[in-house]
Structure 1
Amino acid sequence: MLIDEQPRTRWPDTSAFRNRRPDLRLGNRRHQVDPASATQGRIALQHTVRTATAEYTLLLNAPEWLGRRGVGEALRDSVAELRAIDLTYGPNRPESLVSKLRREEISPESYPPLADLVDRCAAMRAATDGWFDAWAVPGGFDPGGLLGGWAVERAAARLRAAGVHDYAVLTGADLVVRGRAPHGGPWRVAVHHPTAPDHAPLVLEMTDGAVGTSGVTGRQGHVVDPHTGEPATQLAAATVVGPDLAVADAYATALYAAGPTGLAWFRGNSDYRALFAHRH
């Protein structure tokens, strides 16, 4: 097992909030915003939405000047983005843009967001020495290894555009956070050991960053070794932290497939760190 306790996401060492319970627990639903916990001048709100492929939880710590109506509109806009991505880019939907791209009915340049998605997959293939390869999946191009993180980042961008700059958006064992939690301190994120839930969690205090995880869904063979086409078997789980969830997700998927070889990607000046890389 690898544990790196100094990932390069930005969170302050704020002693005044060290004794608080975690605000978020990755991999389960034991996170909850108490509206009464919001500091003066803030509105705390939590909402969970399920699309056809995933469940998302959004926790907002919004400025009071937005008003309840403004906060509700920001939330609806963000949720609409998540639903639209599920419908428009889901590789399992025959009429999605990804499926049409596979059938060569369209080119990536036909839709700027699709071009961005393809470019990100190509960049991560290069960054991981081919261990993340959206083109080496049975059936053709499949961006699933970073699609969820990409969706969360786009939904988060909608929140910021609406004036909400303090939030957390989670899906499964992945999350992105920004700003402060409703209690006024950094978001306290409990990252549980991926295969030993009885171990004490590693608690991160985060104000800007993402956590991406691969291998804890319980699905066997969900990550394929792109070099052999066989299910990856070296690791039981991999967790990566860094600034962007789509990138962290892709790194976690690639690390899960590559095993210890992939740890080389996080040395030097990388903004991303492997938090867990646990063998079977």
Structure 2
Amino acid sequence: MTTFPGTARAEMVMGMPVSVDIRTMLPARELKPLLDDAFAWLRWVDDTFSPAKEDSQIGRLNRGQTIRQIPELIEVLHRCDELSEATGGWFEARINGVIDPSGYIKGWALERLSRALSNAGAGDHRLTAGDDIRVRGSAAPGKRWRIGVRDPRTDVVRKVVFANDLGIATSGGAPVVNPRTGKVQESLNSVTVIGPDLGLADAYATAVYAMGPVLARRFAADLAESGPYQTLIIGRDGQEVATPGFAEYSGAEARLVG
């Protein structure tokens, strides 16, 4: 099979393996700086937004200390408020007075990076951070990217998605808190949301997982009817249901019912 030239790198960032795979034909002297800048950006995001880091802007905000007026910080907090409203409060970055944008920030960071790489001429790439994936362009000449959607609890591939431009976010690998009760939601195995913006897909996946089975199906169906975001829900019994548009990318026969 004909393949694209390019380069790839993986590093530990945000407490997880993160990989940047560029397939666009560019000179080596251009590819290395692109990768250097990519991981520098991701480390900056972690240093700025991680609630676990005392000197991060989120950490300082949570302790009532002064923070720098960083445009990205204002953007993220504003978007989290919008997503809370859009999901009826099921996506919530402020719980018990503590700000934690983790359900949005990873997808947001990869989405911003994907756009930056495209603007720099590296339009064929795959970005992976944990269970969040952003693909753009082609994996090889004339070939869409092939992405296995894994159950984060068993690592089994449940669906295969083919796409040239898509964000894929899965919730369930890390604890998700039900914002209504403050307790960890455990009634679903995983929720995967696909769509054009990985940050939004990440937040929607977090919200749908937090809802539990009944509300999750209803919200996923409404989300699919109103826009381009499609959802795959895997229950604790291993059964899966998907909104109809998911099949356009995977050929899956599952449908969301009820």
User: Normalising to structure 2: TM-score of the pair?
Assistant: 0.83
* Higher RCO (Cα < 8 Å, 6 or more apart): 1
Which of 260, 263, 271 is the equivalent residue of 2:217? 263
Whether the aligned pair in 1 keeps the contact of 2:153 and 2:172 (CA below 8 Å) is no
Distance 1:75 1:163 in 2: 13
Q: Deviations over 1:89-141 (max 9, x none)?
A: 11101110111222333468x211001110121111111110111111x5611
Distance 2:117 2:90 in 1: 33
Whether the aligned pair in 1 keeps the contact of 2:147 and 2:162 (CA below 8 Å) is yes
Structure 1: gaps spanning 5 or more residues: 1-35
Which of 145, 148, 167 is the equivalent residue of 1:210? 167
Distance 1:247 1:188 in 2: 21
Partner of 1:14: none
Taking only the aligned residue pairs, the percentage that are identical comes to: 33
Work out whether 1:74 is the aligned partner of 2:39: no
Distance 2:150 2:178 in 1: 26
| AA aligned opposite 2:79 | R
Distance 2:64 2:73 in 1: 13
Q: Deviations over 1:40-61 (max 9, x none)?
A: xxx2211101125222111111
Whether the aligned pair in 1 keeps the contact of 2:191 and 2:232 (CA below 8 Å) is yes
Which of 16, 26, 45 is the equivalent residue of 2:7? 45
| AA aligned opposite 2:161 | L
Listed as ranges, the matches of 1:116-155 within 5 Å are: 116-136=75-95, 138=96, 140-155=98-113
Distance 1:92 1:193 in 2: 26
CA change 1:70–1:197 in 2 (3 A) is closer
1:74 CA drift (Å): 1.2
Listed as ranges, the matches of 1:18-97 within 5 Å are: 37-39=2-4, 43-63=5-25, 66-97=26-57
Whether the aligned pair in 2 keeps the contact of 1:187 and 1:207 (CA below 8 Å) is yes
Listed as ranges, the matches of 1:215-226 within 5 Å are: 215-217=172-174, 222-226=175-179
User: Normalising to structure 1: TM-score of the pair?
Assistant: 0.76
CA change 1:195–1:161 in 2 (3 A) is same
Listed as ranges, the matches of 1:220-235 within 5 Å are: 222-235=175-188
CA change 1:44–1:184 in 2 (3 A) is farther
